């Protein structure tokens, strides 16, 4: 799958933030990503390698297929994408978002210490397996509808 995606891209479906960790994020439409920091105003900004989190809409749709009403931000991801299978990419993969933002894939999945409400309801959650984390190489504005492409 990774080879098929090399020249492909996708779209930013939603830009999400929260002032507190451990909460769902809410859509804000646009944000500023700061170099070597993350999303301005987000609780997770400043983390060394997990500055910004991404989850594909396709991953969210897997949980929706189980009968749970979830959407962008419900898995605490900063950027919801469509058109890329993020978790099948290699560490170090770089993405261009919009005109100027450059991101680098630093982590795939995460350890979920406390089972979230989604896991407790359906017995599964995609973020620990399919969510990815990036660091901001070059910052700038990101908004819903922007292209995201592998470079």
In which element (H, E) is residue 32 found? strand 30-34
Tell me which residue of 81, 82, 78 sits closest to 23, measured CA to CA: 78
Report the distance separating Cα 146 and Cα 116, nearest Å.
29
pTM of the model: 0.88
- pLDDT digit string (tens) for 16-57? 999 987 778 999 999 999 999 999 999 889 878 899 999 999
Q: What is the residue extent of each domain of the chain?
A: 2-150
- pLDDT digit string (tens) for 74-85? 888 999 999 999
Report CA-CA distances (Å) from 101 to 25, 33, 67, 72, 117.
Answer: 21, 8, 35, 21, 33
- What's the pLDDT score for residue 103? 98
* Cβ–Cβ < 8 Å for 57, 72: yes
Classify domain 2-150 at the CATH superfamily level: PK beta-barrel domain-like (2.40.33.20)
Report the distance separating Cα 144 and Cα 100, nearest Å.
15
- pLDDT digit string (tens) for 118-127? 565 556 677 7
Q: What angle do CA 108, 109, 111 make, to 5 degrees?
A: 135
């Amino acid at each position: 799958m990774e080879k098929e995606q090399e020249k492909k891209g996708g779209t930013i479906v939603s830009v999400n933030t929260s002032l507190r960790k451990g909460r769902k994020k809410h859509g804000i439409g646009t944000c500023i990503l700061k170099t070597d920091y993350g999303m301005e105003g987000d609780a997770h900004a400043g983390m060394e390698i997990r500055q910004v989190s991404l989850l594909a809409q396709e991953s969210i749709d897997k949980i929706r297929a189980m009968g749970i009403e979830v959407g962008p931000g419900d898995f605490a991801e900063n950027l919801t994408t469509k058109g890329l299978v993020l978790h099948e990419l290699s560490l170090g993969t770089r993405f261009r978002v919009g005109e100027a933002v450059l991101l680098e894939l630093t982590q795939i999945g995460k350890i979920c210490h406390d089972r979230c409400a989604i896991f407790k309801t359906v017995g599964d959650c995609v973020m620990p397996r399919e969510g990815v984390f990036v660091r901001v190489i070059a910052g700038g504005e990101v908004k819903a509808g922007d292209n995201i492409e592998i470079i």
